[in-house]
Amino acid sequence: MGGPLGWRRLKTDFILFAAVVLGAAAIGLPFFQLSKRRDALPGCILAAALGAAILLVALNTVSPQPVPEFGSLLSSDTLGGLFGLITLSVTLGVTVFSIPTISSRANGPLYYSLLGFSALGMLFLSFAADLLILFIAWELMSLPTYALAGFDKTREESNEASAKYAILGALSSAIILYAISLSYGLSGSTQISSVIRALGANSTDPVSMLAILLFVVGFGFKMSVVPFHMWVPDTYEGAPITISTLFAAATKKAGFVAAIRVVLAASTLYVVTQNPIFTIPNIFAVLALVTMTLGNLAALTQKSMTRLLAYSSIAQAGYILIGFVIYSYSQANPAYAADATLGMTGALFHIINHSIMVSAAFLAVGLVLIGTKRADLGVFEGLAKRAPVTAFTLSVSLLALAGVPPLNGFWSKLLLFLSVVSGPFAWLAVAAVLNSAFSVAYYVWIIKRMYMDEPENGEKLNEPLIYVVIFAVLAALMIGLGLFPQIGVAFSQNAVPSILSP
């Protein structure tokens, strides 16, 4: 391993080492079921494995190198590093947050094992450069989450959430697999780069059009884009709150990286169908408009915080799609190349920010749910007096989701809105600004309940130190990236060129 060649060899192993660490932890944790001890050790093991994997992915992201062990199946680039860091970091937060409540359960080791397998799937999905590895990673990420959604087996809502999620998830997987089969028929390859070239060469072929639309539908399920969002509110409400956090902040982001790798990259060659109105940019624009609008309107009517945050998460997906709109449009209109870079930088930055913001919101709600066994809006009245740290963290996250400066959500939304304001999609910028302003109503309404209303019950809620530390980290990130947005902007901008080279 000595000398320059040895160092280069070490760098190429980072993704492999991360996968081995996560895989070993996920496979080994179920053996703790054989022991009658019920302690925090399985959770700590998974947390350590995730921490090691995050470090390895970060080292690889600093200087991305090929991954010869996987041949051409993985693309070790900055885009993969960005999504790998997001998904693994969220899973680490969920794992640590789960330790106080899950460790005492008899099936706790299985819970952590399922989390580990899902994290491994998201890691591979972040770097996938082949449609087969993408599908395998998709299933490796998804199958454990079907069981995790119904982990509270004694709750009818949890069982319903798991069943609905599994059925619709299987449907989305089948749609993606059919799209892959059509793509293989056109290209004779499962390499994403080869498939993209084949789709471009057959851009007016109905099979090409169908393949692209099927990919949009299949990935749209995980991205919770309207009209493929129907599973989100019930699943987020029925699943354990930690798993709802995983859905909103991690698996959802894995859906975005899959869409970027395939659909958005394909827009460089496959832009216009036989109908001049039916273009990829127009499809994304309509999806963005209806997603953000329906999400915000539905959130305003909710009486449960988990459902409110679920619809808010749907609306945020609409904002992210704005970057997809201008990027795909620029492929046929090079004059908008700068706007495209700005838009995708904003989209990737908002993906980073949303993972932080929604994690803070769901985990804060989770502490309230643990302490009161309730998640309706009434229990948040006077929360600042009962759990001040939790109330502060939730307030910061809601203001950041609304895009209030100087928090992190403001800057990523600003980049997204500016990217389309001067082109043919200026109407989308206006709609996004109006939606963002509208969302302030229900976010501030919740904050008013926490700080100005009297609590139903004056009893203090327990805020364990481990939760306080997590909340402090998340609040610091939201405020820090708001005060120093150039850090996140630079990281996101560096990942944009990777879209063109799957």
With pLDDT > 70 as the criterion, what percentage of the chain qualifies? 92
72-111 confidence digits (pLDDT tens): 788 888 888 999 999 999 999 999 999 988 877 778 899 9
Banded pLDDT at 67 (limits 50, 70, 90) = low
Residue 304 DSSP SS3: strand
CA-based nearest residue to 97, from 28, 144, 43 = 43
Q: Which pLDDT value is given to residue 323?
A: 93
Banded pLDDT at 176 (limits 50, 70, 90) = very high
288-336 confidence digits (pLDDT tens): 999 999 999 999 888 889 999 999 999 999 999 999 999 988 887 888 8
Average pLDDT score, the chain = 87
Buried b (16+ CB within 10 A) or exposed e, 207-239: ebbebbbbbbbbbbbbbbbbebbebbbbbbbbb
Cβ–Cβ under 8 Å, residues 295 and 226: yes
416-433 confidence digits (pLDDT tens): 999 999 888 999 999 999
Cβ–Cβ under 8 Å, residues 60 and 19: no
With pLDDT > 90 as the criterion, what percentage of the chain qualifies? 49
**Stretch 163-191: mean pLDDT:** 89
CA-based nearest residue to 113, from 168, 161, 43, 194 = 43
Banded pLDDT at 159 (limits 50, 70, 90) = confident
Position 273 pLDDT exceeds 60:
no
Size (the chain), residues: 502
CA-based nearest residue to 153, from 162, 140, 144 = 162
As given in the structure block, the two tokens for residue 135 are 């599908």
Banded pLDDT at 268 (limits 50, 70, 90) = low
Position 270 pLDDT exceeds 90:
no
Tokens 């007096």 map to which residue?
A: 385
Return the higher-pLDDT residue of 140 and 458.
Answer: 140
**Stretch 158-169: mean pLDDT:** 87
Position 65 pLDDT exceeds 80:
no
As given in the structure block, the two tokens for residue 325 are 């709109």
Q: Which pLDDT value is given to residue 68?
A: 63
Q: Which of 264-268, 335-339, 481-485 has the highest mean pLDDT?
A: 481-485
**Stretch 347-359: mean pLDDT:** 95
**Stretch 395-423: mean pLDDT:** 93
Q: Which pLDDT value is given to residue 196?
A: 82
Alpha-carbon span 144 to 128, nearest angstrom = 19
CA-based nearest residue to 449, from 381, 499, 500, 498 = 381
Q: Which of 49-58, 154-163, 244-253, 474-483 has the lowest mean pLDDT?
A: 154-163
Q: Which pLDDT value is given to residue 5?
A: 43
pTM for the structure as a whole: 0.91
Residue 74 DSSP SS3: strand
